[in-house]
């Protein structure tokens, strides 16, 4: 980020805050300095509260949402904004979904299905976006690709036998190889463990279901079953033990479903992500190491997956941003006045740097003012291509909202891609904001245990646990991750750009960071629950993005 421009932005914000007219809304502060000293909503939320928690207001509800409903009720009534295009670079989008079909971008310069590049942008019939993956779906992880590519060059060698020019590449290979071997063994072991548990739990559950006449029994009902045989005693004991692994509100069928989902996940890892003999790119017919080879992909932004499971992620992200508001259907997106530009570039596996770089440029060149990037990886073979694309977006005044990642890591210590830094500390642009995930419990569990964090490399936090949004075929589900936190912020950014179109991307970024709510409390970070830190030390802003405050600050700064 340019230090001079950054100081000017902060100075403008500071001075504008001093010019609050009489009767105008003022910036809302955190309800109380120490969040652990007041009664908190750390009990089970009602279904209605949970489905809408990311829109809740921290001051009135003590639920750390983004004050979305309050902003619409108090600040946006009778106000008209401009239409803003948001590029969603993801796994694809169900553009036929009942809650999205009215907010999908249509290229006004392209004639549908005439087989021509009418707007001369290099993409034929790109009516709703572009699919850089073509008909491919599954992919290796990046470190698997690195091992596959460099194995013949470095196998059997040590550092002393490698030329000085190749030593960095050799070290990358050795590190990637060690991680691949470790993850492969972990996947085999965990898959086997899950399979063994399922083999024990399913017949036990079937027998208890027959006795009780229902599947969704609680632990008390289970323990009330008469154990007339040693086998029935074993069934009851096993299932009673499994209740200890359930989250609040879950049942044994949920537990079985989660285990089977885990088996499927690790099976995919072994078949695709960690398999050096698998190559998912061959059907795309391009050279992934040549950024000038751009004639590939197609206009099918929903992808080839007939059951649409492959586009769940992108569909959910799009719904968080802009699901049609107040249409009487499943969910209200954060932003109105938005068109979603669907760009398919994230496979089941790690994305290619080339696809991401070209996807960012596509979104910029075709009118997007905000781009959501809910993906990431820890190895990159061509990071310079993506960074050049980020700088290109900055030059064209486009904001990129990026997910921090879900490994519970300190990103000041572990580099993740994409990012806007060349040495994990120096920013290359002022249009890239990285978002961590919040939990709905306003207390020591405020930060999602899976969320990455970092005083220098994460900019702010937003709701990311159990987010209710659109999924394929007119369905809705809870998903979670920083992948859900980023689009919440993309929605806020889109609203700012809709109502205050003269503000630059760099100004919108600073508004998002400076207008949020904070707390001095200590919160738990990481999945092991051991480490804790001050919330203010977990991101650059030390704040939670808040739409209500952001609109007030945008109003002031625009004047």
pLDDT digits over 299-339, tens only? 999 999 756 888 999 999 999 999 999 999 999 999 999 99
Q: Does residue 261 form part of some domain?
A: yes
Q: Among 29-38, 424-433, 485-494, whose mean pLDDT is lowest?
A: 29-38
- CA angle 368-351-345, nearest 5°? 40
Does residue 241 carry a catalytic annotation? no
Confidence of residue 423 (pLDDT cuts 50, 70, 90): confident
The pLDDT of residue 417 is above 70: yes
Which pair of structure tokens corresponds to residue 299? 């206009």
Residue showing tokens 């079909």: 101
DSSP alpha helix (H) spans, 303-382 = 312-322, 353-365
Indicate which residue of 97, 205, 273, 313 is catalytic.
Answer: 313
Q: Are residues 531 and 448 in the same domain?
A: yes
**Strand 531-534 versus strand 467-471 pairing type:** unpaired
Q: Are residues 123 and 157 in the same domain?
A: no
The pLDDT of residue 238 is above 70: yes
Of the residues 211, 238, 273, the one at which a domain ends: 273
Does residue 313 carry a catalytic annotation? yes
Q: Which residue has the higher pLDDT, 397 or 60?
A: 397
Q: Which residue has the higher pLDDT, 339 or 12?
A: 339
| Closest by Cα among 393, 542, 546 to 71 | 546
The Cα–Cα gap between 33 and 31 comes to 7
Q: Does residue 283 form part of some domain?
A: no
What's residue 9's pLDDT?
31
Q: Does residue 282 form part of some domain?
A: no
Which pair of structure tokens corresponds to residue 406? 């879900």
Q: Are residues 224 and 262 in the same domain?
A: yes
Confidence of residue 32 (pLDDT cuts 50, 70, 90): very low
Mean pLDDT for the stretch of residues 251-273: 96
String of DSSP letters for 220-270: HHHHTS---SHHHHHHHHHHHHHGGGPPTT--HHHHHHHHHHHHHHHHHII
Q: Among 5-19, 23-37, 512-526, whose mean pLDDT is lowest?
A: 5-19
CA dihedral 260, 482, 389, 337 (to 10 degrees): 110
Q: Which residues of 237-249 are buried (b: 16+ CB within 10 A; e: fewer)?
A: ebbeebbeeeeee
| Cβ count near 158 (within 10 Å) | 9
The Cα–Cα gap between 343 and 491 comes to 17
Q: Are residues 320 and 250 in the same domain?
A: no
Does residue 483 carry a catalytic annotation? yes
The Cα–Cα gap between 277 and 271 comes to 9
**Strand 368-373 versus strand 399-403 pairing type:** parallel
The Cα–Cα gap between 312 and 90 comes to 10
Q: What is the mean pLDDT of the chain?
A: 91
Q: Which residue has the higher pLDDT, 528 or 211?
A: 211
Q: Are residues 85 and 153 in the same domain?
A: no
Per-residue pLDDT of 381-394, as tens digits, reads 999 999 999 999 99
| Closest by Cα among 178, 184, 174 to 150 | 174
Q: Are residues 477 and 498 in the same domain?
A: yes
Surface-to-core class of residue 469, CB atoms within 10 Å of its CB (0-12 exposed, 13-18 middle, 19+ buried): buried
Helix axes of 353-365 and 383-395: crossing angle, nearest 10 degrees: 10
Ramachandran region of residue 113, left (φ > 0), alpha (ψ -120 to 50) or beta?
A: left
Q: Which residue has the higher pLDDT, 310 or 454?
A: 454
Q: Are 273 and 144 in contact (CB under 8 A)?
A: yes
The Cα–Cα gap between 84 and 339 comes to 6
Q: Among 172-186, 194-208, 239-253, whose mean pLDDT is lowest?
A: 239-253
User: How many angstroms from the chain centroid is the CA of residue 139?
Assistant: 19
Q: Does residue 284 form part of some domain?
A: no
The Cα–Cα gap between 66 and 483 comes to 16
Give percent above pLDDT 90 in the chain: 84
The pLDDT of residue 469 is above 80: yes
Q: Are residues 91 and 226 in the same domain?
A: no
Q: Does residue 280 form part of some domain?
A: no
What's residue 11's pLDDT?
32
User: How many angstroms from the chain centroid is the CA of residue 217?
Assistant: 34
Q: Are residues 316 and 259 in the same domain?
A: no
Q: How many domains does the chain have?
A: 2
CATH number of the domain to which 76 belongs: 3.40.50.200
Q: Are residues 161 and 21 in the same domain?
A: no
Q: Does residue 191 form part of some domain?
A: yes
Q: Does residue 469 form part of some domain?
A: yes
Per-residue pLDDT of 178-189, as tens digits, reads 999 999 999 999
Indicate which residue of 483, 515, 539, 541 is catalytic.
Answer: 483
Q: Does residue 288 form part of some domain?
A: no
The Cα–Cα gap between 112 and 130 comes to 13
Overall pTM > 0.75? yes
Helix axes of 167-212 and 142-154: crossing angle, nearest 10 degrees: 140
Query: The domain containing residue 363 runs over which residues?
Result: 3-138+293-558
Of the residues 242, 273, 304, the one at which a domain ends: 273
The Cα–Cα gap between 321 and 494 comes to 9
Indicate which residue of 286, 365, 388, 397 is catalytic.
Answer: 286
Q: Are residues 236 and 187 in the same domain?
A: yes
Q: Are residues 441 and 479 in the same domain?
A: yes
Q: Are residues 366 and 327 in the same domain?
A: yes
Of the residues 227, 242, 273, the one at which a domain ends: 273
């Amino acid at each position: 980020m340019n230090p001079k421009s950054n100081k000017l932005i902060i100075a403008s914000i500071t001075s504008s805050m001093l010019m609050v007219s009489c009767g105008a809304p003022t910036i809302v502060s955190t309800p109380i300095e120490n969040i652990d000293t007041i009664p908190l909503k750390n009990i089970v939320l009602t279904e209605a509260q949970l489905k809408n928690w990311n829109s809740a207001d921290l001051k009135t509800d003590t639920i750390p949402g983004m004050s979305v409903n309050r902003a619409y009720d108090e600040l946006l009534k009778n106000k008209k904004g401009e239409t803003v295009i948001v590029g969603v670079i993801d796994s694809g989008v169900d553009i036929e979904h009942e809650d999205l079909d009215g907010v999908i971008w249509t290229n006004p310069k392209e004639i549908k299905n005439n087989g021509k590049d009418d707007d001369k942008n290099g993409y034929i019939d790109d009516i709703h976006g572009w699919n850089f993956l073509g008909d491919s779906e599954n992919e290796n992880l990046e470190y698997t690709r690195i091992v596959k590519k460099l194995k013949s060059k470095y196998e059997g060698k040590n550092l002393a036998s490698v030329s000085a020019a190749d030593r960095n590449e050799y070290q990358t290979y050795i590190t990637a190889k060690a991680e691949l071997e470790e993850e492969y063994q972990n996947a085999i072991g965990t898959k086997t463990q899950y399979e063994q548990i399922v083999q024990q739990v399913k017949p036990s559950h079937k027998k208890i279901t027959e006795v009780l006449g229902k599947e969704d029994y609680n632990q008390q009902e289970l323990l009330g079953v008469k154990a007339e045989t040693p086998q029935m005693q074993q069934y009851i004991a096993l299932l009673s033990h499994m209740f200890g692994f359930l989250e609040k509100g879950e049942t044994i069928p949920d537990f079985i479903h989660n285990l089977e989902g885990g088996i499927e996940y690790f099976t995919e890892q072994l078949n695709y992500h960690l398999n050096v003999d698998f190559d998912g790119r061959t059907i795309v017919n391009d050279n992934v190491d040549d950024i000038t080879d751009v004639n590939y992909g197609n206009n099918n932004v929903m992808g080839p997956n007939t059951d649409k499971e492959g586009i769940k992620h992108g569909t959910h992200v799009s719904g968080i941003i802009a699901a049609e508001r107040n249409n009487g259907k499943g969910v209200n997106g954060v932003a109105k006045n938005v068109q979603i530009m669907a760009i398919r570039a994230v496979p089941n596996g790690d994305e290619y740097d080339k696809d991401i770089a070209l996807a960012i440029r596509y979104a910029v060149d075709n009118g997007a003012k905000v781009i959501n990037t809910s993906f990431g990886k820890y190895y990159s073979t061509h990071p310079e291509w993506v960074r050049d694309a980020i700088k290109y977006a900055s030059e064209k005044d486009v904001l990129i909202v990026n997910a921090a990642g879900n490994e519970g890591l300190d990103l000041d210590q572990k580099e993740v891609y994409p990012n806007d830094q060349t040495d994990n500390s120096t920013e290359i642009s002022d249009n890239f904001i990285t978002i961590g995930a919040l939990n709905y419990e306003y207390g020591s569990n405020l930060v999602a245990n899976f969320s990455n964090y970092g005083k220098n490399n994460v900019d702010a936090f937003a709701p990311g646990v159990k987010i209710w949004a659109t999924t394929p075929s007119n369905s809705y589900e809870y998903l979670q991750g920083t992948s859900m936190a980023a689009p919440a912020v993309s929605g806020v950014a889109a609203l700012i750009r809709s109502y205050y179109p003269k503000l630059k991307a760099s100004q919108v970024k600073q508004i998002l960071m400076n207008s949020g709510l904070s707390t001095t409390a200590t919160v738990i970070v990481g999945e092991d629950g051991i480490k804790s830190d001050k919330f203010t030390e977990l991101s650059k802003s030390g704040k939670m993005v808040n739409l209500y405050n952001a609109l007030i600050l945008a109003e002031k700064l625009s004047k």
